[in-house]
Structure 1
Amino acid sequence: MLRSMYSGVSGMRGFQTKLDVIGNNIANVNTVGFKSGRVMFKDIMSQTVSGVTAPVDGESAGVNAKQIGLGVSIGSIDTLHTAGSAQTTNNPLDLRLDGDGFFLVKMTPDQDMPYLTRAGDFHMDAAGNLVTSDGLFVCDSAGDPITIDTENVTAFTISQDGTIVQKLADGTTENGVQVGVGKVVNPEGLEKIGGNLYRMTLNANPDGELEPTTANNAEVGTGAIISGQLEMSNVDLTGEFTEMIVAQRGFQANSRIITTSDEVLQEVVNLKR
């Protein structure tokens, strides 16, 4: 009876975590570049009441083990790095990666390891720096902050490989730096730090290293940069609400296990009367 009660408690804890993750997904349904999460469960080790008996030829048959499960625990909380839908904005500084890879941004120009993001809603500050909404510097393919010469450049466009094509004041055009992109072996190994940013970890790339590269690179496998579009959240509201119903009913069912176990314990106590 106590085993069933503690199993119910573990189930309620697990489904509470699942509801927390679902709530965060729904809250970020319109967040640019957001990647949804999911909770995977695993059973806790079972108590073996009796072990396995091997069959003996001509004498006895084999007997399976008798085991009682002790509840559930969280196996993993995954981040699903599937592509979100494209939203056309026609803003030349809005960039979307059509494939694998992340934009690289730095809090300061001399920051060693850049942060990664899929949110491409960039801006240009008064000094001509390409920055995020929070003022982080967008990096080029060398890992350095991108600065556009606003004095000599009258207009510019960004090509699919990230090259900033600048139109000069004399009417000519020239190619500037390329917007940097980072490729990660295991995107689920990245650490979320808020603000649509990820931090490198030892399980994202070998040795936790990250070499900036370019977009639309077939050798590395990075996607093309689409200017004038944003990648929206990959949250599927229909699926999230369905999972919310499952989590709610699972939470209720596990609470019934606790209630029933309590009633049985009460009956046992009443035997003394």
Structure 2
Amino acid sequence: MLLGSFYTGLSGLNANATALNVIGNNLANINTSGYKRSQTNFSQIMSDTIRGVNGGGNPIQVGLGVRTSEIVAKFEQGSIQTTGIKTNLAIQGEGFFAVSTGSQTAYTRSGNFGFNNQGFLVAASGGRVQGFMGTNPDGTVDTSGGNTDMRIDLGEASPPLATSQVRFVSNLSAEAVNGDTYTSSIEVFDSKGVPHQLSITWTKTPNTGEWTYAFEMPSGTVSPAAPNQGTGVVLFGPDGILQEVDGAPVNTIAANRQILITDLDSGAEDILFSFDLLDIPDPTDLTQNTSFTTSFGSTFNTGTIAQNGFGSGVLQDVDFAQDGTMIGFYNNGLTLELGRVALATFNNKLGLKQIDGGFYFPTAASGPASVDGEGTGGRGTVIASSLESSNVDIAEEFTSLIVHQRGYQSNSRTITTTDQLLQEALNLKR
């Protein structure tokens, strides 16, 4: 029986030595971004039965020691630290970043990313970060398709957009007399992205509150024919608010005026734009509208002018929004969504296999990855310009260190005591 005590004590030494190794690894990674501390769990080795259960009494069994049953990662949230580096990303909540290693996809909580010389968003190991790069017609990122390598190309040109809406927020003097004029100008773009100077001239008529308007573009021809001619008449009421447009009350017209520009010098397609005289939030209720043009006081002025076209631009910089969306900034002032970082979740994240660099591989125990955008399916939120710190708790690790140190010492005493008893048994023959 005494010989069995050697192996019982040895199992305790091995188990506690493993635990001490795990604690040392936790403390070594206390400053490792995205690191999740590990915990060692023990289980009893099946007992040796001296007397079985035969109905005549309780069983007599002796334990054979202890073994390490599992070493599990503790996935509690680490604190979020701001770094100021735009490509650093952190996850608040559930999920992992997906990184392609070539033949396989690995998963990590560490968002220490950057762009390589080919424009790919990569982890420190060189693996390519996965995300969604397609866009919907409204310019938002399409997360319904498969994820792919996230990549940018600084210097890449964005396609132009022809102007389809023009707005002047102007005031025409209420004290103007017949023949007074007021002109405002705005830059618009054709289908090739070529800019053109568009001007509108308001002229006071002899009638009370009545003005005419006329568009002019030196590099094109403003259509003179209805219904898209560039001229018209507006009428302001006694309160200075727009009352009629081309003879129709503002609460009955179905839309703002449509103006057509043809014969452009650039050879581009004709420009057809909406001249927004009214803000109509609900097209089904035309009584609820706000006039962009008024006739108050004695001054002429133009406040906000706006149009929705733009010329071709070159990608100059990128940044990440707080939801993980990669945003491109072009030298024409355009801002576009280029992609969004993908997040993966697992049915059993404790079943993941940990490898170097803070990465995990899925296993049969973890189940396959479920990948989507942030905030969906229980996934957490991506925080830009930040990193998640290690979740190692020094006080807890030091306490565990003391406990397992004492466990190791106690098992070593079992071995030395058993050795002394065997020595006494050998001395009986003297």
TM-score, length of structure 2 as denominator length: 0.58
Q: Once the 2 structures are TM-superposed, how far is the Cα of residue 211 of structure 1 from its aligned partner?
A: 4.1
> Which has a greater percent of strand?
2
The AA in structure 2 aligned to 1:145 is: D
Superposed CA offset, 1:69-120 (max 9, x none): 1111111111111111111112211100111110011123xx3x41101110
Give the secondary-structure state (helix, strand or coil) at the position aligned to 1:195: helix
The AA in structure 1 aligned to 2:63 is: G
Residue pairs, 1:251-270, within 5 angstroms: 251-270=408-427
Give the secondary-structure state (helix, strand or coil) at the position aligned to 1:78: strand
Q: Is the 8 A contact 1:106 1:139 kept in 2?
A: yes
In the alignment, which residue of structure 2 is the partner of 1:32? 33
CA distance in 1, matches of 2:332, 2:118: 21
Query: Which segment is superposed worse, 242-251 or 141-150?
Result: 141-150
* 2:366 counterpart (204, 211, 225): 204
* 1:178 counterpart (321, 330, 340): 340
Give the secondary-structure state (helix, strand or coil) at the position aligned to 2:148: coil
Give the secondary-structure state (helix, strand or coil) at the position aligned to 1:24: helix
Superposed CA offset, 1:17-51 (max 9, x none): 11111111111000001111111111111111122
Residue pairs, 1:110-259, within 5 angstroms: 111=103, 113-141=104-132, 142-151=146-155, 152-205=314-367, 209-217=368-376, 220-259=377-416
Q: Which has the higher contact order (CA 8 A, sep 6+)?
A: 1
In the alignment, which residue of structure 2 is the partner of 1:57? none
In the alignment, which residue of structure 2 is the partner of 1:58? none
CA distance in 2, matches of 1:133, 1:77: 26
Q: Once the 2 structures are TM-superposed, how far is the Cα of residue 153 of structure 1 from its aligned partner?
A: 2.0
The AA in structure 1 aligned to 2:360 is: Y
TM-score, length of structure 1 as denominator length: 0.90
Q: Once the 2 structures are TM-superposed, how far is the Cα of residue 165 of structure 1 from its aligned partner?
A: 2.0
How many residue pairs end up in the alignment? 258
Say yes or no: does 1:46 pair with 2:47.
Answer: yes
Superposed CA offset, 1:157-203 (max 9, x none): 32343221222221111111111111111111111110111111111
The AA in structure 2 aligned to 1:94 is: N
Displaced runs of 4 or more, over 6 A: none
Superposed CA offset, 1:208-253 (max 9, x none): x334311121xx1111100011001111111111111111111111
Q: Once the 2 structures are TM-superposed, how far is the Cα of residue 52 of structure 1 from its aligned partner?
A: 2.9
CA distance in 1, matches of 2:331, 2:105: 33
Q: Is the 8 A contact 2:97 2:111 kept in 1?
A: yes
Give the secondary-structure state (helix, strand or coil) at the position aligned to 1:33: coil
CA distance in 2, matches of 1:53, 1:250: 36
The AA in structure 1 aligned to 2:47 is: S
In the alignment, which residue of structure 1 is the partner of 2:99? 105
Q: Is the 8 A contact 2:346 2:370 kept in 1?
A: no
The AA in structure 2 aligned to 1:187 is: K
Give the secondary-structure state (helix, strand or coil) at the position aligned to 1:140: strand
The AA in structure 1 aligned to 2:362 is: M
Runs of 5+ consecutive residues of structure 2 not aligned to the other structure: 133-145, 156-313
CA distance in 2, matches of 1:210, 1:19: 32
In the alignment, which residue of structure 1 is the partner of 2:64? 70
Give the secondary-structure state (helix, strand or coil) at the position aligned to 1:212: strand
Runs of 5+ consecutive residues of structure 1 not aligned to the other structure: 55-61
> Which has a greater percent of helix?
1
Q: Is the 8 A contact 1:7 1:70 kept in 2?
A: yes
Q: Report the structure number with the largest CA radius of gyration.
A: 2
